[in-house]
Chain A
Amino acid sequence: MTKLRPDLQIIADNIAPGSRVLDIGCGDGALMAALRDEKQCDARGLEIDPANVASAVAKGLSVVQGDADTDLAAYPDGSFDYAVLSQTLQTTRRPDVMLEQLLRVGKQAFVSFPNFAHWRIRTSLLFGGRMPVTRLIPQTWYNTPNIHHVTIEDFRALVRDGKFAQENQWFLSGDKLTGQGMANLLAEHAVFLLRG
């Protein structure tokens, strides 16, 4: 079993065994395979990149090629215990609509994203005067798929405005869990568990 990306490991650790899970932007299906093999979950995926879909299907996973912005609407209400959106929120056309969709399709939703207010990004912009390029946000401004950069505080505000319930939160610095204090400054990456 290959090691999962840290945010995916947090999600995998916190999903109840035997759950129905929809992984949106599932990549090559690493999380889905782990959930299937270790937690006996019924996992389905939605992924835009054809090579990733082919890899996932070859692993025996049920993955549909499609665009989360348009294709999520075809899934019935409450058809999954969890909807998972990992490192994809910042690429969606309307993150607010995406959250609504996640919590329509799933009873709960995991959302993970790189925190644009991390101190390294702040200092890069403050002193370099250029759009930050970091380990988690490696593309330059003109070719990045990340069209809606978001900070932890922004996300919390969106959750409040959408009247969603926040069930849990985790913060990562490097590959390690970090505390909640000053997370918006110190965390590179955040994982939230929401309920509709």
Chain B
Amino acid sequence: MMSEDARFGLDRSVRLLGPLPLDSGASLAPVEFAYETYGELNADRSNAVLVCHALTGDQYLASTHPLTGKPGWWERMVGPGKPIDTDRHFIICANVLGSCLGSSGPATVNPATEKPWAMDFPVITIADMVRAQAMLLDHLGIERLHAVIGGSMGGMQAVSWAALYPERVASAVIIASAARHSAQNIAFHEVGRQAIMADPRWRGGAYYADDDPPSSGLAVARMAAHITYLSEAGLTEKFGRRLQDRDAKTFGFDADFQVESYLRHQGISFVDRFDANSYLYITRAMDYFDLAEAHGGVLANAFRGSKTRFCLISFDTDWLYPTSESRAIVHALNAAGAEVSFMELSSPFGHDSFLLENPEMNRIVDGFLKAGEGR
């Protein structure tokens, strides 16, 4: 029976002993997880859906964010009667390894020093994030996922889940994502990292004790990244060359243009909810991501013999992870003989489209997940 509030386990957390072996050769112990769950696990434990969040996302998938007070980042997709259905599914969303909302990352305490890890935190990869999530699922007693779903970096985790643990994933939904980071992707991330490290308050990452983080650098990193999440047409439509609260140019360096004011706001509000060192670690993990690399450079080899059903969605105005990147995954899945569906959706909002209202996306995810439940 449904309780009045479909969710339970507000701000759940667990510390697992580990160790978690990492791609770098290091290992992490213990491993802390902050996560949210929605809905109820059924008797045969077959309705678990893992949602993987993006670079600056978090576990507050469909519940109010404790720092910003804003609604969950994917409430359009997750809820009663929605495609990821709190009435049908047991939904798990964990703060990703390396992040800053409660899971192990540079801001959590290094047991060896009893101080925050800062830059002593080991460099992690997307596969490490996935192995950490697998540890959490082991702890929750979930052997096999009905589905793993993610957009952007979440999609990288979802596709890695299918490659690393094919027998644990019945279905994978990979939205606005890629199987590797391109030179352009790496380049934009490097701009962000350099902005953080150029902030004198960064101090090699050891800023936690003084509670004086490199907010200016992190804000600039966010501003640069935010441009990549939008489309040129979307920016033009939203702001054009319109001026911000003024009738004429000031011949100075205030935020004359609306688009400047908007980006500054995006930067400033971001630093209240995100840790600069986490930004360094997670962007690094994304840059290191190349799923084919571990399979002799042949992406199809990552999926040989896979029984997982795949659904990929891209957006026509997404130039950060363009349709060609999704198609590369689709072609590899075809070559491997895997079951795959793919669709490029039309939306003016660039990469951010996957977070926004899109009835077609909801319809596809809904149909895809329901079809998997009949099996």
Q: How far is the CA of A32 from the CA of B303 in the complex (A)?
A: 23
B238 within 8 A of A: no
Q: How far is the CA of A60 from the CA of B344 in the complex (A)?
A: 18
Q: Which of A54, A62, A75 contacts B335 (CB 8 A)?
A: A75
1/0 per residue, CB under 8 A from B, across A59-86: the answer is: 1111111100001001110010000000
User: In the bound complex, do residue B367 and residue A58 qualify as a contact, i.e. CB atoms below 8 Å apart?
Assistant: yes
Number of A-B contacts (CB under 8 A): 70
A57 within 8 A of B: yes
Interface size on B, residues (CB 8 A): 26
Q: How far is the CB of B308 from chain A (nearest CB, A)?
A: 12
Of B309, B337, B341, B368, the most chain A CB neighbours within 10 A belong to B341
Q: Which of B330, B345, B364, B374 contacts A64 (CB 8 A)?
A: B330
1/0 per residue, CB under 8 A from A, across B326-345: the answer is: 01001100110101111111
B371 within 8 A of A: yes
User: In the bound complex, do residue B360 and residue A62 qualify as a contact, i.e. CB atoms below 8 Å apart?
Assistant: no
Q: Which residues of B contact A59 (CB under 8 A)?
A: 367, 371
Residues of B333-375 contacting chain A, CB below 8 A: 334-335, 337, 339-346, 360, 363-364, 366-368, 370-372, 374
Q: Which residues of A contact B364 (CB under 8 A)?
A: 54, 57-58
A53 within 8 A of B: yes
- Per DSSP, chain A at the interface is mixed
Q: How far is the CB of A42 from chain B (nearest CB, A)?
A: 8
- Using A65-B342, A65-B343, A65-B344 as known contacts, say yes or no to A60 and B371 having CB atoms under 8 A apart: yes
User: In the bound complex, do residue B370 and residue A60 qualify as a contact, i.e. CB atoms below 8 Å apart?
Assistant: yes
User: In the bound complex, do residue B370 and residue A57 qualify as a contact, i.e. CB atoms below 8 Å apart?
Assistant: no
B50 within 8 A of A: no
Q: How far is the CA of A71 from the CA of B366 in the complex (A)?
A: 26
User: In the bound complex, do residue A58 and residue B363 qualify as a contact, i.e. CB atoms below 8 Å apart?
Assistant: yes
Q: How far is the CB of B343 from chain A (nearest CB, A)?
A: 5
Question: Nearest CB to that of A50 among chain B residues?
Answer: B343
Question: Nearest CB to that of B332 among chain A residues?
Answer: A74
Q: Which of B337, B346, B367 contacts A60 (CB 8 A)?
A: B367
- Using A57-B311, A57-B364 as known contacts, say yes or no to A79 and B337 having CB atoms under 8 A apart: yes
Q: How far is the CA of A159 from the CA of B205 in the complex (A)?
A: 69
User: In the bound complex, do residue B335 and residue A64 qualify as a contact, i.e. CB atoms below 8 Å apart?
Assistant: no
User: In the bound complex, do residue A44 and residue B363 qualify as a contact, i.e. CB atoms below 8 Å apart?
Assistant: no
User: In the bound complex, do residue A44 and residue B339 qualify as a contact, i.e. CB atoms below 8 Å apart?
Assistant: yes
Q: Which of B335, B342, B343, B345 contacts A76 (CB 8 A)?
A: B335
1/0 per residue, CB under 8 A from B, across A147-182: the answer is: 000000000000000000000000000000000000
Q: How far is the CB of B330 from chain A (nearest CB, A)?
A: 6
- Using A44-B339, A50-B344 as known contacts, say yes or no to A57 and B367 having CB atoms under 8 A apart: yes
User: In the bound complex, do residue B340 and residue A64 qualify as a contact, i.e. CB atoms below 8 Å apart?
Assistant: yes
Q: Which residues of A contact B367 (CB under 8 A)?
A: 54, 57-60
Q: How far is the CB of B359 from chain A (nearest CB, A)?
A: 10
Q: How far is the CA of A64 from the CA of B330 in the complex (A)?
A: 8
Q: Which of B327, B337, B341, B371 contacts A53 (CB 8 A)?
A: B341
User: In the bound complex, do residue B343 and residue A57 qualify as a contact, i.e. CB atoms below 8 Å apart?
Assistant: yes
1/0 per residue, CB under 8 A from A, across B302-339: the answer is: 00000001010000000000000001001100110101
Question: Nearest CB to that of A42 among chain B residues?
Answer: B339
Q: How far is the CB of A8 from chain B (nearest CB, A)?
A: 20
Q: How far is the CB of B312 from chain A (nearest CB, A)?
A: 9
User: In the bound complex, do residue B341 and residue A57 qualify as a contact, i.e. CB atoms below 8 Å apart?
Assistant: yes
Question: Nearest CB to that of A72 among chain B residues?
Answer: B334
- Using A64-B330, A64-B340 as known contacts, say yes or no to A57 and B346 having CB atoms under 8 A apart: no
User: In the bound complex, do residue A62 and residue B340 qualify as a contact, i.e. CB atoms below 8 Å apart?
Assistant: yes
Q: Which residues of A contact B342 (CB under 8 A)?
A: 53, 63-66
User: In the bound complex, do residue A61 and residue B341 qualify as a contact, i.e. CB atoms below 8 Å apart?
Assistant: yes
Q: How far is the CB of B161 from chain A (nearest CB, A)?
A: 19
Q: How far is the CB of B304 from chain A (nearest CB, A)?
A: 12
Q: Which residues of A contact B309 (CB under 8 A)?
A: 62
Q: How far is the CA of A71 from the CA of B324 in the complex (A)?
A: 12
Of A54, A57, A66, the most chain B CB neighbours within 10 A belong to A57
Q: How far is the CB of B75 from chain A (nearest CB, A)?
A: 22
Q: How far is the CB of A55 from chain B (nearest CB, A)?
A: 9
Q: How far is the CA of A65 from the CA of B316 in the complex (A)?
A: 13
Question: Nearest CB to that of A45 among chain B residues?
Answer: B341
Residues of B39-88 contacting chain A, CB below 8 A: none
Q: How far is the CB of A7 from chain B (nearest CB, A)?
A: 25
Q: How far is the CA of A44 from the CA of B309 in the complex (A)?
A: 12
Q: Which of A60, A65, A75 contacts B334 (CB 8 A)?
A: A75
User: In the bound complex, do residue A54 and residue B331 qualify as a contact, i.e. CB atoms below 8 Å apart?
Assistant: no
Question: Nearest CB to that of A63 among chain B residues?
Answer: B341
Question: Nearest CB to that of A60 among chain B residues?
Answer: B371
**Interface pairs (20), CB distance under 8 Å:** A44-B334, A44-B339, A50-B344, A50-B346, A53-B342, A54-B360, A58-B364, A58-B367, A58-B368, A58-B371, A60-B367, A61-B371, A64-B334, A65-B344, A66-B342, A74-B334, A74-B335, A75-B335, A76-B335, A79-B334
List 8 extra interface pairs beyond A50-B346, A57-B371, A62-B341, CB under 8 A. Answer: A54-B360, A57-B341, A57-B364, A58-B368, A62-B339, A64-B334, A65-B343, A65-B344
Which residues of B come within 8 Å of A, CB atoms? Answer: 309, 311, 327, 330-331, 334-335, 337, 339-346, 360, 363-364, 366-368, 370-372, 374
